[in-house]
């Protein structure tokens, strides 16, 4: 069964996405955009699936996970890992294969390792990328975006705490 697969990410001016296991910034409205985009379905009988690396799962506050109204899948190579409220998989292919007729879209949430492993995969439909117009001290980065995606489309923009950002989309909706 084929489902569209999107990445969704917020990057700084140098493609930085994380620092010491957390987001480098706190942008409330950007998080709301992430939440709305990953939850929204055309068909109210379906849900989206979100796939994330073990470290990204760990970075979520325990009271905010699993991400509600989405099917949560966590990638780990530790077969015995139990994660409350999420399914566990030891490969991206197996995680994608979990999507069924109740799944509308798949969102790959990161982090750095997972984005790097999937960025050149031909199954990647598009990338929702928020460009934060500032440079933060980061230790984790988003990979280079393949030239085949061409120029992104600007979906919108916002600003908070003196930080401006653009909502971009790479690919064909
Ligand atoms: N700005 C953003 O939009 C954004 C989005 C997401 C995350 N982040 C940030 O990114 C950072 C986390 O990224 P990260 O690169 O350190 O870690 P990550 O990609 O979230 O998770 C890495 C872990 O995933 C598992 N894994 C990786 N590849 C796998 C595979 N092919 N099969 C099965 N399991 C696999 C391993 O878990 P085990 O060790 O359990 O085997 C590995 O340690 C944090 O700072 C987070 O806040 C930012």
DSSP structural state of residue 148? G
pLDDT at 68 over 80: yes
> Is 160 considered catalytic here?
no
pLDDT in tens, 91-105: 999 999 999 999 999
Asked if residue 131 belongs to a domain, the reply is yes
Q: How far apart (Å, rounded) are the C-alpha atoms in residues 18 and 161? A: 19
Asked if residue 169 belongs to a domain, the reply is no
Q: For ligand 1, which residues put their CB under 6 angstroms from it? A: 9-10, 17-18, 21-23, 53-56, 59, 75-78, 90-92, 109-114, 117, 140
Q: What is the pLDDT of residue 33?
A: 98
Nearest CA to 108 out of 131, 142, 137 is that of 142
Domain extent, residue 88, equals: 5-18+25-39+46-149
Asked if residue 109 belongs to a domain, the reply is yes
Q: What is the pLDDT of residue 173?
A: 63
Tell me how many domains the chain contains. 1
In 27-144, DSSP assigns E strands to 47-53, 70-75, 87-89, 103-110, 124-132, 140-141
Asked if residue 165 belongs to a domain, the reply is no
Average pLDDT over every residue of 129-138? 98
**Range name among 81-85, 116-120, 151-155 with the lowest pLDDT average:** 81-85
Asked if residue 144 belongs to a domain, the reply is yes
Asked if residue 97 belongs to a domain, the reply is yes
For residue 90, which atom of ligand 1 is closest to its CA?
Answer: 33
Average pLDDT over every residue of 100-122? 98
| pLDDT-based confidence at residue 172 (cuts at 50, 70, 90) | confident
User: Can you give the CATH number for the domain in which 55 is found?
Assistant: 3.40.430.10
Asked if residue 73 belongs to a domain, the reply is yes
Q: Which of 30, 75, 92, 109 is catalytic?
A: 30
pLDDT at 79 over 90: no
Q: Is residue 5 exposed (0-12), middle (13-18) or buried (19+ Cβ within 10 Å)?
A: buried
> Is 23 considered catalytic here?
yes
């Amino acid at each position: 069964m084929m489902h569209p697969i999107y990445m969704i990410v917020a990057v700084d001016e140098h493609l930085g996405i994380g620092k010491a296991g957390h987001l480098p910034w706190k942008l409330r409205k950007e998080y709301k955009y992430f939440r709305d985009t990953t939850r929204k379905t055309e068909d109210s009988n379906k849900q989206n699936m979100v796939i994330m690396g073990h470290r990204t799962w760990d970075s979520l506050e325990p009271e905010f996970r699993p991400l509600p109204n989405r099917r949560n899948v966590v990638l780990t190579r530790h077969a015995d890992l139990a994660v409350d409220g999420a399914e566990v998989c030891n490969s991206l292919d197996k995680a994608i294969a979990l999507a069924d007729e109740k799944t509308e879209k798949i969102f790959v949430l990161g982090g750095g390792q997972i984005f790097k492993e999937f960025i050149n995969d031909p199954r990647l439909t598009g990338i929702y990328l928020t460009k934060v117009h500032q440079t933060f001290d980061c230790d984790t980065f988003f990979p280079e975006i393949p030239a085949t995606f061409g120029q992104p489309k600007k979906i919108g923009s916002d600003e908070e705490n003196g930080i401006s950002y653009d909502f971009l989309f790479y690919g064909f909706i």
